[in-house]
Homo-oligomer: A and B are copies of this chain.
């Protein structure tokens, strides 16, 4: 079904963007972006997406996507370097072709994979080109937005 995956993307976007501390709160936020549903469904969605609820210094509790909270020191340094190799991204159907500087494709693809993005099923890398398969029901903008979280300036590389 289409609506479900769209809703899941919307949920990810909201959770990555702001601090949500209950499913009822999320319910309201989703309405604002056109997704009407019930709290029971959200409970199932959050379970599916492996979203965790964890204590937050400011608010009491917030929801968090695995990679956002837990990924920290280890791979951060590795994260940044290869991402400068990205040169452009273009879409065709549910695929994207990303161009990198020669030799960078595998490194970049590895980083993309390791983020375990919901929007991206997987990647295949050559030397300077990455083929990226997007999830059904996910828009190009969704993919760009998700990748832009760790590829600075990607927005400007869309051809």
Contact = CB atoms under 8 A, between A and B. Distances in A.
Nearest to A159: B121
Given A66-B70, A124-B124, A53 B52 contact: yes
B113 A124 contact: no
Contact of A54 (B66, B122, B126, B133): B66
Given A52-B53, A70-B70, A113-B129, A94 B93 contact: yes
Given A54-B66, A55-B48, A95 B126 contact: no
B47 A133 contact: no
Nearest to A134: B92
Interface residues of A, number: 42
Interface in A5-59: 46-48, 50-55
Contacts of A64: 52
Number of this chain's copies in the assembly equals 2
B124 A129 contact: yes
Interface in A62-115: 64, 66-67, 69-71, 90-95, 97, 99, 106, 109, 113
12 contacts: A46-B55, A47-B55, A51-B55, A52-B52, A52-B69, A66-B70, A92-B135, A95-B95, A97-B121, A97-B122, A122-B129, A123-B129
Interface of A: 46-48, 50-55, 60-61, 64, 66-67, 69-71, 90-95, 97, 99, 106, 109, 113, 121-129, 131, 133-136
Given A97-B122, A97-B133, 11 more contacts: A47-B55, A51-B54, A51-B55, A52-B53, A52-B64, A67-B71, A97-B121, A109-B126, A123-B129, A124-B125, A124-B131
